[in-house]
């Protein structure tokens, strides 16, 4: 048995040289290189939007940065007003769902992620019975930027939607863009 191994060993050595493979290509080694973290938020401190907005809430630019870290729902009967100069920074896959009323003027909705592979968030979703009025605003990196679902009321004027695959998703006839 040992003699067979000694005869085959030189043939394996010749084969290895012809294949040009090194030991590291043939061995399964753990990846010892440190990978760059993809979750890289701009802001980790600021005013976090709660999971639900109940009643009347006003957000001012003095409260910036305003962080949308997950799904926030403006509940039916509730109203959220975002005053001019405010920036809302959304985490990856976060969304603002409007079942009540949202009013925003001169507001920026953008990503809170620095890494390009994590900048996408789910945008502003206006559900049945929800009302939204946005003017002079900017919505960035959300896809879709705005979702107007059936039986919602949405008015958008002088608003720029950029860096997105779908700007506006319109399911009904009550999404008015000026």
Q: What are the sequence ranges of the domains in the chain? A: 47-177
Omega prior to 144 cis, within 30 of 0: yes
Provide CB contacts within 8 A for 171, sequence distance 6+: 147, 148, 149, 150
Using CB atoms within 10 Å of the CB of residue 81, give its burial: 0 to 12 exposed, 13 to 18 middle, 19+ buried.
Answer: middle
- Which residues are registered as beta bridge partners of 72? 96
Q: Is 102 exposed, middle or buried (0-12, 13-18, 19+ CB in 10 A)?
A: buried
- Beta carbons of 59 and 80 less than 8 angstroms apart: yes
Structure pTM?
0.78
Residue 175: the pLDDT is 83
**63-119: pLDDT as tens digits:** 999 999 999 999 999 999 999 999 999 999 999 999 999 999 999 999 999 999 899
Sheet holding 56-59, edge to edge: 56-59, 79-82, 101-105, 131-135, 153-157, 175-177
């Amino acid at each position: 048995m040992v003699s067979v191994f000694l005869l085959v060993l030189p043939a394996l050595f010749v084969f290895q040289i012809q294949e040009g493979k090194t030991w590291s290509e043939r061995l399964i080694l753990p990846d010892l290189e440190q990978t760059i973290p993809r979750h890289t938020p701009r802001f980790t401190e600021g005013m976090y939007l709660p999971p639900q907005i109940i009643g009347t809430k006003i957000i001012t630019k003095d409260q910036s940065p305003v962080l949308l870290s997950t799904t926030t729902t403006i509940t039916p009967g509730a109203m959220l007003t975002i005053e001019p100069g405010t920036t809302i920074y959304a985490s990856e896959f976060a969304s603002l769902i409007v079942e009540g009323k949202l009013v925003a003027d001169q507001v920026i909705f953008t990503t809170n992620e620095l890494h390009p592979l994590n900048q996408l968030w789910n945008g502003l979703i206006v559900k049945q019975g929800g009302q939204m009025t946005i003017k002079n605003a900017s919505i960035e990196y959300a896809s879709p930027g705005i979702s107007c679902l059936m039986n919602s009321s949405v008015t958008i004027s002088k608003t720029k939607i950029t860096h997105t695959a779908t700007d506006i998703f319109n399911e009904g006839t009550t999404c008015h863009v000026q």
